Structure formats: structure tokens, C-alpha cells
Structure 1
Amino acid sequence: MAKSDRLFRLMHLLRSLHPPVTAGDLAQELGVSQRTLYRDIDALRACGARIEGEAGFGYTLTEDYALPPQSLTQIEIEALVLGLSEVRLRGDPALSQAARDALAKITASLPEEKRAQIEHSVGLVHRYLPQKQYVADLSLIRQACWEERALRLFYRDRQGRETRREIWPLAIVYLDEELMLLAHCRLRGAFRQFLVGSILSLEWAKGSFRPRRVPMLRDYISELRTRHAIAPYCEDGRRIMREENLTAPL
């Protein structure tokens, strides 16, 4: 691991692990000797990070030079913790880990009083039912949306019919008990909704639709809203949601 990558990883560990963190634990996480760990701590301090502690006592990050100070109200902190906790429980492994990392970074940027509010937030999230597992790779779908690249999917509808589709993925919608993929179907030449749980396989297809994802998604949501009280249907004919409940930050 390059030194720059190691220092970045060390900062993340200091943000996320419960302080004080011993040199032995940090060295083990990084796969280096404690002697190297001590030099890395000195390097971070030289860059401006305020790291209290010393060998034998453990280390605490008291001021993070890499993150700007945040001015969040207590209710904003409650909303932040509750939202990221929900993502941690509902998201796929990559998204769940991202929620943990994001909260750790935000916490590290706050003054001591605000950190205490995060650690003792009122809102808690718990789910009795286990997280649903999907055959489709959600990381692949997100990447395709970010990069505006076409996907090819094998899909099974409610009647058990299986079809292959090439799509331009636009967004993933988190419903109460299901995930839904909004897309433009190249076979139908129109916008369509696909239940992620009904996707049997997924792979890259040739072609890019950059830079059309944002305007296409805006047009699709506008189209849904203009149908008033008519509920949209999934590709296999199942009713999904009412349009007035569908929003997007565009």
C-alpha cells in the first residue's frame, strides 16, 4: 500500500474506531509495524491533524484537518443519523458500508458537543425482517446510472415469462418492501419499471446514453405525475405506486 493511501486509511480508522485507539490495533488494521504506525501518526500531525495520545495510551482524533467544520442543528443531526441508519439497514453491502463511512467522516468533522449529540441521538432504526437479497448486482446498476451506460437484463414477470431487455437505467426506487428500477427500455422504445427482485441476470451492454440520464429521468417523473390518480404498473403488470408519491432530487 502506498504511503498516501495508508495515511488516508489511517485517518478513516481514527474517525471511525472508538477512541482511544491503540497503536497495535491501528497497525494491525493497516498491516504495518507499530514503528511505521508511529511515523504515520507524526506525518498526519505535521499536516495539521490534531491527534491526542501517545504510544501505550492510544490515540484520539480531536480535530480533522481534512474535513471542514459543520454547523448542524440538533434536529439536523437527528435526521442525519436516522437517515444513514436506515440506509445501513436497507442498503446492499456496498451502500450499507458507505453509510457507516459517511457518518464516521461527518462525526469527525464536528466539534465535541455535536459529536455527543450524534452518539446519543434519539432516533433509532430496527428491522425485524431480514434484509431481502437480490440476484441483481445493485452496485452494477448504480455504476451504470452514474456512467450512463446501457445494461442487458434477463427478467421474469408475474406470469413466469422470461424476456431479455436492453435498457438505459435511470434510477433505483426504494419502496416499502421492494426495489424498483426506472429505465428506458430499448426494445419497447419507452419508459418502463422493473422490479429488481425479478431480474434474473444483469450484464453490461454496448452503448452510452450520456448525457441524457438526468433530463430523461425528469421527463419520466413528469410523465408519471401527469397521469394524476392512475397508478403506474411494473413491466409485468403489477401495480407499484401512485405518481404523487414519486419524487426525485432533480
Structure 2
Amino acid sequence: MAKTDRLFRLLHLIRGLTPPITAARLAAAMEVSERTIYRDIEALRAAGARIEGEAGLGYTMTEDPALPPQTFTQLEIEALVLGLSEVQARGDAALGGAAADALTKITATLPERQQRQSVRAINLVHRFAQPHAPAVDMTLLREASWAEEALEITYRDNSGAVTTRQIQPLALAYLDTVVMLLAWCCLRQDFRQFKVGAILDARRTGQSFRPRRVPLLREFVDRLRARRQELAQRD
């Protein structure tokens, strides 16, 4: 691991672990020697990080130069903790881990009083039933959407029929109990919503549909909104 990457990772650990943090604990997490931890902490201090403590006692970060100071109201802190906790509970492993890392970084920018408020937030998330892990790689779906790259998927519909089709992925929608992939279906030449749990396989094609994703998604959302209004009027 390059030294710069190692220092960023060490900073992230010091932000997230409960102080005081011993060099032995950091060395185990980083898979390096304690001597390397001592040298890296001195490098971080030289770069402006205020890290109190010493060998044998443990370390505490009192000021983080890598992150600008932030300030939030207590209700905003509660909203951040609740929202990111929901992502950890609802998302796949990669998305949940990203939410945990984001919360750690945000908390590290807060004044000490607000850090305590985030740790003692009153809004908690707990799910008795964990969502089933989909067969398809969620990271692949996200990266194809970001890159605006068509996918070839194998899909089982509600009747049990299995088809292979090319789609242009637009967005992932997290509903109450399922995750839907919103896409343009090249087979049907129309918008479709695919249950992620029913996607048996997905492969990147290398075929770009840039810059169509944003206008396609906007049109899809407009259609869904119009459909909801139509159904509401019938009621």
C-alpha cells in the first residue's frame, strides 16, 4: 500500500475508533507493525493533525486537517444519523459500508459537543428481518448506471419465465420490501422496472448510452408521476 493511501486509512481509523486508540490496535487493523504506526502518526502530526497521546497510552485526535469543520443543529444531526443508519440496514454490504464510512467522516468534522450528540442520537434504526442479498452484484449495477453503459441481464419475471435482454440502467429505487432497477429495455423499446432480486445474472456490454441517462430517467419519473395522479383521480 502506498504511504499516502496508508496515511488516509490511518486517519479514517483514528476518526472512527473510540479513543484512546493504542498503536497495537491500529497496527492490527492496518496489518503493519507498531513501529510503522508510530512513524505514520508523526507524519500526520507534521502535516497538521492534532493527535494527542503517545506510545503505551493511546492516541486521540483533537483536530483533523483533512476535513473542514462542520456545524449542524441537533435535529440535523439526528436526521443524518437516522438516514445513514437506514442505508446501513437497507443497503447491500458495499452501500452499507459506505454509509458507515460517511457517518464517521461527518462526525469527525463536528465540534466535540455535537460529536456527543451524534453518538447519543435518539432516532435508531432496527430491522428484525434483514433484506435478502440479491444474486446480482449491486456494485456492477451502480457502476453501469454511473458510466451510462448498457447491461445484458438474465431475468425471471412474475410468471417464472426467464429471458435475456439488453437494458440501459437508469436508477435503483428502494421500495418498502424490494429494490427496483429502473431501466430502458432495448427488447421492449420502453421503460421497465426490474426487481433486483429477480435478476439472475448481469454483464456489462461496453456499449455506452451517454448522455441519455438523465433525460431518460426524467421522462420515466414523469410517466410514473402521471400514472399515480391518474390512479388517484379514479379513486
So what's the TM-score if we normalise by structure 2?
Answer: 0.95
Residue in 2 aligned with 1:119?
Answer: 119
Report SS of the residue matched to 1:21.
Answer: coil
Q: Over residues 112-169 of structure 1, what are the superposed CA-to-partner deviations in whole Å (9 max), with x where a residue is unaligned?
A: 0110000000101111112212111111100011111110101111111111110000
TM-score by length of 1: 0.90
CA RMSD of aligned residues (A): 1.2
Paired with 2:29 and 2:133, the residues of 1 have a C-alpha distance of 29
Deviations 1:155-213 (A, max 9, x none): 11111111111000000000100010100011111111111111111111231011221
CA drift of 1:230 comes to 4.8
- 1:1-250 alignment, distance < 5 Å: 1-230=1-230
The aligned amino acid for 1:112 is E
* Distance change >3 Å, CA 18–CA 147, structure 1 → 2: same
Bigger helix share: 2
Matched residues, number: 232
1:36: Cα distance to partner? 1.6
- Residue 166 of structure 2 aligns to a residue in which SS? strand
Q: Which letter maps to 2:42?
A: D
- With over 3 angstroms needed to count, the CA separation of the structure-2 counterparts of 1:36 and 1:160, relative to structure 1, is same
Equivalent residue letter for 2:70: Q
Q: What SS does the aligned partner of 2:227 have? A: coil
Percent identity of equivalent pairs: 59
Letter aligned with residue 211 of structure 1: P
- Aligned partners of 2:30, 2:226: CA distance in 1, in Å? 54
Structure 1's consecutive aligned runs of 4 or more residues displaced over 3 angstroms after TM superposition are 228-231
- Whole-angstrom CA distance in 2 between matches of 1:230 and 1:175: 21
Q: Distance in 2 between matches of 1:124 and 1:133?
A: 23
> AA paired with 1:58?
G
